[in-house]
Amino acid sequence: MDKLISLIGLALLVSSAAAPVMAEERPRPGEESWLLFCEGCHRPDAEGPGTVMLQRRFGDERMAIKGNKTLAPEYIRSVVRHGLLEMAPLRQTDITDAELDLLIEFLASE
Amino acid sequence: MAAVLPDWLSPQEFSTAIDEMANAIGQQWVIHDGDPKLRSYRDSFSTLPGDANVPSAVVAPDGIEEIQAILKIANEHRVPLWPISTGRNFAYGGPAPRMPGYVVLDLKRMNRILEVNEEYAYALVEPGVSYFQLYEYLQKNNIKLWIDPAAPGWGGIVGNTLEHGVGYTPYGDHFMMHCGMEVVLPDGTLFRTGQGSLPETESWQVFQYGFGPILDGVFSQSNFGIVTKMGMWLMPEPPGYMPFLITYENEEDLAIITEVVRPLKVNMVIPNGAFTVDLLWDAAVKVSKRQYYSGKGPIPDSARKKIMSDYKLGQWNFYAALYGPPPMMENTMQVIRDTLGAIPGARVWTAEERKHDAAFQYRSKLMRGEPNMTEFGLMNWVGGGGHINFSPISPTTGEDAMRQYEMIKNRSHEYGFDYIGEFAVGWRDMHHVYMLMFDRTDDEERQRAHELFGVLIDEAAAAGYGEYRTHLAFMDQVAKTYSWNDHALWKLHERLKDAFDPNGILAPGKQGIWPAHMREKHSWTS
Ligand SMILES: Cc1cc2nc3c(=O)[nH]c(=O)nc-3n(C[C@H](O)[C@H](O)[C@H](O)COP(=O)(O)OP(=O)(O)OC[C@H]3O[C@@H](n4cnc5c(N)ncnc54)[C@H](O)[C@@H]3O)c2cc1C
């Protein structure tokens, strides 16, 4: 019976309490913003459409935005707020100015 | 830049209303007065010219009281409000309102995950919760439940479900899997659907129907109320997962694929949101058109053949997945091989064989509820950002599939665009999604795309096919096609509109439903 229960994935049901709900930490740390808003398109491989586009446009040196020290903070801020062709802009309700600063710091880190 | 205002509002009255709203929710959560930030609420991908549909202001409340305060002021001054949740409705309008000058009611700040119940496998969320956010939360807390995201992970549970969105796991029909809503009506009335209206209930998110009429549907794809909470069933992580791809060599194979898929879907042999994907949709995630063809117009057959052989793709590419204990999956997989895999020219691919294929990878993630953004790679096919989706419904038959495909492909080629499409196979229907991609920096091309879209709506309707949702710019035209018995359904929507929202302040024109005071100018029903 034990085997059957774990097989069909029901064993979990023993822990019955509803999970406690975590309030989001705000201002949101840079890494969190990266995961919520950037990584999907700028992950450093062929599944990141931003990475693919930047590589096609500018070559390997400029395909990554994470860890790319040549991108000026002002430029990143402007691209995020105004968008760039295929990339839609983020709004104040997505990410505050203070959180965008944290994100830009995170992007510059290794 | 002076904001465009609705024509019945004077600048003075508008600015009084906005000041009052700012008093109610705090100046920092109001954008107005031609602030360049308003442009982040455009649809920067549509077939409309550059700055079409820019709102006159944005208000971003947090909480029911603030929403009610805004509604009160909007009613007093007759200010049109356009609610958005995560505001990523791209291909259908993004965050933008139906008309320029509306005030966007941005609910993104309300992004609390209110409850996750592992035992009953559901979540209760606010409108601003995105797929990425809920996924991260489940991961961090080691909760073995799956979400069912739309292809772009930055969209959200509430906005997508209200639009009747679709996903890729067995929970792919989002509206079907939602359970319980909390809604604010335009007059400020707050209520809950289903069991949620019983004060002591523990069953709001486990039983959809409650007692009496089921009203949830009335608040989807409509402008009758603002949804402030929604329950969503989550799929328990299964003990096994087996995604697969079957490639097909010929365009005409669409007919037989569809015929063979139907019984597999209706009998739930294939349990999830399965997709029959055309060559270019799959290829565009990996290559740009320019790499294969530098001329104008649709890509020629010779180049298509080259892409097929370079990337080991079919003219059609069928994606689905199996779930459960491995012996069950293996048995079912044999059924798949004997049916879909037995169509001449078919080749069945496993995850292992496709592990370096970005398109297989992102679909494989979607079918196990892992949100991502890879499908945005489609936008790199021509570049220039323009895209808008044409999404007619049909029964799951080979004849219908071929008829829609031929119709859309031929028109699209006639207008100089590639056919880039996929069929999302539900239980008995297919959502055919044709992504019309164009270079938005080229005005002539943009206008040509707009014209094509209008032609497709009427041609599809004449053949008996209606859209399941559409872009802002085409809501009236699509609504007009649902005309049985002299537009009886839309006339009823108008009566509901007048009852729920007598001042006509909520999302006027959404889905072609206009309030009384704008009907003379916009409506076709009388
Ligand atoms: C490349 C690409 C792939 C896509 N793939 C998919 C897919 O797989 N499946 C799919 O379904 N869609 C898909 N889409 C379409 C769209 O992007 C998604 O459906 C997206 O989830 C919708 O945006 P959202 O979730 O942020 O909703 P929102 O933009 O927040 O809401 C959508 C609309 O619902 C209404 N609304 C929102 N919130 C409320 C509320 N609280 N009360 C009342 N009305 C409200 C408003 O009219 C609003 O405009 C795709 C688009 C692109 C460009």
Domain coordinates in residue numbering, chain A: 26-108
CA B393 to chain CA centroid, Å, is 14
Please judge whether A88 and B44 are an interchain contact, meaning their C-beta atoms are less than 8 angstroms apart: yes
The single-letter code of the amino acid at B125 is V
Q: How far apart are CA B179 and CA B158, in angstroms?
A: 11
| CB of A56 less than 8 A from some CB of B | yes
Residues of B forming the active site = 92, 468-469
Select from B133, B91, B82 the least CA-distant residue to B111.
Answer: B133
Which residue among A40, A52, A88 places its CB closest to the CB of B153?
A40
Residue A1 has pLDDT above 80, yes or no: no
CATH topology of domain B11-106: 3.30.43
Where do the domains of chain B lie? 11-106, 113-236, 241-472, 482-522
Tell me which chain B residue has its CA closest to the CA of residue A86: B385
Nearest to B368 by CA among B142, B144, B127, B89: B144
Chain centre distance of CA A103 = 10
B375 Cα to the center of ligand 1, angstroms: 15
Q: What is the distance in A from the centroid of ligand 1 to the CA of B326?
A: 35
- Ligand 1 neighbourhood includes B46 CB (under 6 angstroms): no
Fold of B482-522: Vanillyl-alcohol Oxidase; Chain A, domain 4 (1.10.45)
* Cα of A50 from ligand 1 centre, angstroms: 21
Burial (Cβ within 10 Å: 0-12, 13-18, ≥19) of residue B9: middle
Helix axes B253-266, B398-414, angle to 10 degrees: 130
Q: What is the mean pLDDT of residues A70-97?
A: 95
Inform me whether the pLDDT recorded for A7 exceeds 90. no
pLDDT greater than 50 at residue A17: no
CA distances from B498 to B224, B341, B442, B507, B517 (A): 9, 54, 41, 13, 10
Question: A85: which chain B residues are within 8 Å (Cβ-Cβ)?
Answer: 383-385, 441
Neighbours of B416 (CB within 10 A): 14
For residues B457 and B467, the answer to whether their CB atoms sit within 8 Å is yes
Residue whose CA is closest, atom 23 of ligand 1?
B89
Q: Which CATH class is domain B241-472?
A: alpha beta
What is the rounded distance in angstroms from the CA atom of residue B290 to the CA atom of residue B381?
A: 8
Min CA distance, B514 vs chain A (Å)?
A: 28
Alpha helices in B433-504 (DSSP H): 443-462, 475-481, 484-500
CB–CB of B98/B471 below 8 Å?
A: no
pLDDT one digit per residue (tens) for chain B, 526 residues: 567 899 999 999 999 999 999 999 999 999 998 899 999 999 989 999 978 899 999 999 999 999 999 999 999 999 999 999 999 999 999 999 999 999 999 999 999 999 999 999 999 999 999 999 999 999 999 999 999 999 999 999 999 999 999 999 999 999 999 999 999 999 999 999 999 999 999 999 999 999 999 999 999 999 999 999 999 999 999 999 999 999 999 999 999 999 999 999 999 999 999 999 999 999 999 999 999 999 999 999 999 999 999 999 999 999 999 999 999 999 999 999 999 999 999 999 999 999 999 999 999 999 999 999 999 999 999 888 899 999 999 999 999 999 999 999 999 999 999 999 999 999 899 999 999 999 988 999 999 999 999 999 999 999 999 999 999 999 999 999 999 999 999 999 999 999 999 999 999 999 999 999 999 999 999 7
For residue B414, give both structure tokens. Answer: 């006639």
Q: Verify whether ligand 1 is closer than 6 Å to residue B366 (CB atom).
A: no
Q: What percent of chain A has pLDDT over 70?
A: 79
ipTM, 2 dp: 0.95
Residue contact A83–B40, C-beta within 8 A: yes
Choose from A42, A85, A87 for mutation: most chain B CBs within 10 A: A85
Structure tokens at B371: 């949100």
Give the count of beta carbons closer than 10 Å to the beta carbon of residue B213: 9
CB of B90 within 6 A of ligand 1: the answer is yes
Q: In this structure, which CATH number among 3.30.950.10, 3.40.30.10, 3.40.50.720, 3.30.465.10 belongs to the domain B113-236? A: 3.30.465.10
**Is CATH 1.10.760.10 correct for A26-108?**
yes
pLDDT at A15: 44
Query: What pLDDT score was predicted for residue B4?
Result: 87
pTM for the complete prediction?
Answer: 0.97
